[in-house]
Amino acid sequence: MNQRGQAFSVFELMIAGVVAFAILIILLMVIGNVGIGNYSDAKKVLGDAVKTAAPSGPATSQEFVLKKDEPITTSDLAVKTELDEKSMFFVYGQFDETKDSMSIGSEGDSLVYTGSTQKKLAAKVICAQTAEDLVKKFALLEASTTPYTLGDPESFCEKVQPCCGIILIRSIR
């Protein structure tokens, strides 16, 4: 047969191999990100939500992922916002401390996830100029149809104003 025809079939086989390899790489990248999706860094997302909520009222963050044993502190968020670290605090919101493997510091200044896999969630940030105003806003939220565990914002916001509560909520999707 024709020598040229045989060389062309080898070239076709090589192209098919390169295409198959490219498809394999794309599939591996997709499979690797299935667990976490396109979720942003928790510190950046929470910092952005606090910046949005501080001057203009309540804000709901984008979804983010908490990584095992990687703490998020209010001092991390203070770096990303113009607020003092004492003017922010975390509350469980729609989560349960033991069931959801999360722990919030006694002063609400840190959040650590201790579960075995990454956890997807979002946050609602509510800010007020005084602790009394924040108590009223929390009361309105607690009266809504979704159960929240919010605690007493006055214990966190005694001296620093404005004060922002970062309320953890279930993933939006």
Render pLDDT for 104-115 as a digit per residue (tens, 0 to 9): 888 888 888 888
This prediction's pTM = 0.71
Q: Is 3 found in the same domain as 47?
A: no
The pLDDT tens digits of the residues spanning 63-93 come to 888 888 888 888 888 888 888 888 888 888 8
The answer on pLDDT for 22 being more than 90 is yes
The answer on pLDDT for 17 being more than 80 is yes
Q: Is 50 found in the same domain as 26?
A: no
Q: Is 47 found in the same domain as 89?
A: yes
Q: Is 64 found in the same domain as 8?
A: no
Q: Is 123 found in the same domain as 160?
A: yes
Q: Is 63 found in the same domain as 5?
A: no
Q: Is 77 found in the same domain as 23?
A: no
Domain total for the chain?
A: 2
Give yes or no for a contact between 130 and 112, defined as CB atoms under 8 angstroms apart. Answer: no
Q: CA–CA separation, 70 vs 55, rounded Å? A: 29
Residue bearing the bigger pLDDT, 82 or 5: 82
Range of the domain at 101: 40-170
Q: CA–CA separation, 53 vs 164, rounded Å? A: 8
Q: Is 84 found in the same domain as 24?
A: no
